[in-house]
Amino acid sequence: MSGMFTRICLLLSVLAMLCGPIAASTAVAQEGPRAAPTATIEVQSLPVAEEPVPAFDPVKATNAYLAQISGPQRARSDAYYEGGYVLLLVGTAYALIVAGLLLWLRISARMRDFAQAITRIRFWQAAIYAALFFVVIVVATLPLTLYQSFYREHEFGLSNQTIGQWFTDFAVLCAIGFVATTILVTVIYAVVRAAPNRWPIWASAITIAFAAFVGLISPVYVAPLFNTYTPLPDSPVKQSILAMAKANGVPVDNVYTFDASRQSDRISANVSGLFGTTRISLTDNLMKRATPAEVEAVLGHEIGHYVLGHTYTGLLWIALVIVVGFWFLNFSFRFLTAIFGGNWDVRQIDDPAGLPVLYAVGMVYLLLATPALNTISRNIEAQADIFGLNAARQPDGFATIALKLSEYRKLEPSPLEEFVFYDHPSGRSRIAMAMQWKAQHLRDPDIRKGPVSPQ
């Protein structure tokens, strides 16, 4: 009954609300004639004639930027980068020669016999062999490593290290590599013995998990072994970086700087880590050598990697490369040992003496996979470039920093060269993209009033 009552009350109040205006207007009508009320009607002010969009040709601007690096400077960065193509082939050929010598001179077979003489347990035989193999490979490839990462870097003025400092870093790297490789190889051989036919699947799973683990711990435990990481010191640039980071949902305390000048003058920044350890780090060189607009352009790119989850995308792609790689190793090992196994004294896949075969095949696989790996990386980088332009809105800062990065990257490769060898878009691609972005944003006041590009 009370329910009915409330409903009636509700209905009445709704009716009262609806009738209210009618009642009021009847009241007005009863008061007699009166001047119509004058109301001010708000109209939108007429649009002010838009400021003319300045004439801007993105192609001309791109070419004008590219022309800023010429002569010996251009020749030097071209020579440095093109030398890298040769080194890729030389590195693979060198590895094949080392593996060939280990196999045909039966050094590998003797290393296995040595491990068998020490212990009868196959798990430990594999561990001893793996440890020996790592040392042999590091020593055998030392001349090439020394040339590639010390002498050549000095030749092109890209290194700040003395030979002593270089060896210290190299020793630390080898110590980590020694432990990591020995454990991984030993575990994989255990899997090979347990599942001789299905081992590539298990080995892939273990290697992917291992890669994820390394990604997780490296920013916290590995990177600090080579450089000192500190939070970026306070400055107006830092404020704009933090604002950009916050606006894009990046945890604000995650911008670090590190003393990359210990090793070289290269300007760069990176995103590293997985799960809880992801962080953005800028080199001290970037902070010293770049303008605030350039720093913002770089940070926009790095924030892009973070927001777009590129460390995870990267891991997924690497997983695919690993799975195909182990399948290729298994197939090639069986094919090669069927022909040469007698000469090498290596026949079974579970024999650690066959590791040089896997090493050689692995190096060939990585060489063949170079265009695929670079294309995966280049596409991810191009996404971060676009994100960075949208976030930082510094197309000219982006263009000039692309020029500064060309100290060690060829600025204008052919399309085929870029496809095969470039893990980042080339300087030309990046500047062209930034100028195209600018051309499409000239109606925005900040871009129209921003820096003038060369034409």
CB < 8 Å & 24+ apart, contacts of 448-452: 448/51, 448/53, 448/54, 450/393, 450/394, 450/395, 450/396, 451/293, 451/396, 451/397
CA distance linking residue 264 with residue 261, whole number of Å? 5
Which tokens hold the place of 73?
A: 């400077």
The residue range among 56-64, 191-199, 343-351, 381-389 that interacts with Zn ion, by the rule CB under 5 A, is 381-389
| Least distance to Zn ion, CB of residue 392, Å | 14
The residue range among 32-40, 315-323, 375-383, 437-445 that interacts with Zn ion, by the rule CB under 5 A, is 375-383
CA distance linking residue 393 with residue 441, whole number of Å? 9
**Among residue numbers 272 through 301, which ones bind Zn ion (CB under 5 A)?**
none
Judged by CB, which is closer to Zn ion: 273, or 450? 273
Judged by CB, which is closer to Zn ion: 430, or 438? 430
The residue range among 16-24, 113-121, 173-181, 377-385 that interacts with Zn ion, by the rule CB under 5 A, is 377-385
Judged by CB, which is closer to Zn ion: 322, or 384? 384
| Least distance to Zn ion, CB of residue 324, Å | 25
Judged by CB, which is closer to Zn ion: 207, or 283? 283
CA distance linking residue 281 with residue 78, whole number of Å? 28
| Least distance to Zn ion, CB of residue 224, Å | 21
**CA-closest candidate to residue 330, choices 198, 447, 442, 162:** 198
Judged by CB, which is closer to Zn ion: 112, or 428? 428
Residue 101: partners with Cβ closer than 8 Å, 6 or more residues away:
107
| Least distance to Zn ion, CB of residue 229, Å | 18
| Least distance to Zn ion, CB of residue 385, Å | 8
> Which H or E element spans position 350?
none
Contact 118, 171 (CB under 8 A): no
Total chain residues near Zn ion (CB under 5 A):
2
Binding mask 323-362 for Zn ion (x = CB under 5 A): ----------------------------------------
Judged by CB, which is closer to Zn ion: 300, or 352? 300
**φ, ψ dihedrals at 258, nearest 5°:** -140, 155
Which tokens hold the place of 440?
A: 């499409």
**φ, ψ dihedrals at 358, nearest 5°:** -65, -35
The residue range among 165-173, 344-352, 376-384, 406-414 that interacts with Zn ion, by the rule CB under 5 A, is 376-384
CA distance linking residue 280 with residue 259, whole number of Å? 14
| Least distance to Zn ion, CB of residue 384, Å | 5
Judged by CB, which is closer to Zn ion: 192, or 384? 384
C-alpha angle with apex 185: 179 to 186, nearest 5 degrees?
A: 90
**Among residue numbers 53 through 82, which ones bind Zn ion (CB under 5 A)?**
none
Ramachandran area for residue 393 (φ above 0: left; ψ -120 to 50: alpha; else beta): left
| Least distance to Zn ion, CB of residue 193, Å | 41
| Least distance to Zn ion, CB of residue 436, Å | 19
Judged by CB, which is closer to Zn ion: 130, or 232? 232
Judged by CB, which is closer to Zn ion: 203, or 318? 318
Judged by CB, which is closer to Zn ion: 351, or 381? 381
The side-by-side arrangement of strands in the sheet containing 255-258 is 229-231, 255-258, 279-283, 269-272
User: How many C-beta atoms surround the C-beta of residue 414 within 10 A?
Assistant: 10
| Least distance to Zn ion, CB of residue 378, Å | 10
Binding mask 382-401 for Zn ion (x = CB under 5 A): --x-----------------
The residue range among 232-240, 289-297, 374-382, 387-395 that interacts with Zn ion, by the rule CB under 5 A, is 374-382
**CA-closest candidate to residue 400, choices 390, 391, 411:** 411
CB < 8 Å & 24+ apart, contacts of 228-237: 228/258, 228/259, 229/256, 229/257, 229/258, 229/281, 230/256, 230/257, 230/258, 231/255, 231/256, 231/257, 232/256, 232/257, 232/282, 232/287, 233/257, 236/292, 237/287, 237/292, 237/295, 237/296
Q: What is the separation of C-alpha 53 from the centre of its chain, rounded to a whole number of angstroms?
A: 36
The residue range among 6-14, 36-44, 98-106, 379-387 that interacts with Zn ion, by the rule CB under 5 A, is 379-387
| Least distance to Zn ion, CB of residue 271, Å | 7
| Least distance to Zn ion, CB of residue 286, Å | 13
The residue range among 288-296, 332-340, 373-381, 407-415 that interacts with Zn ion, by the rule CB under 5 A, is 373-381
CA distance linking residue 387 with residue 275, whole number of Å? 21
Judged by CB, which is closer to Zn ion: 245, or 384? 384
Contact residues for Zn ion, defined by CB under 5 A: 381, 384
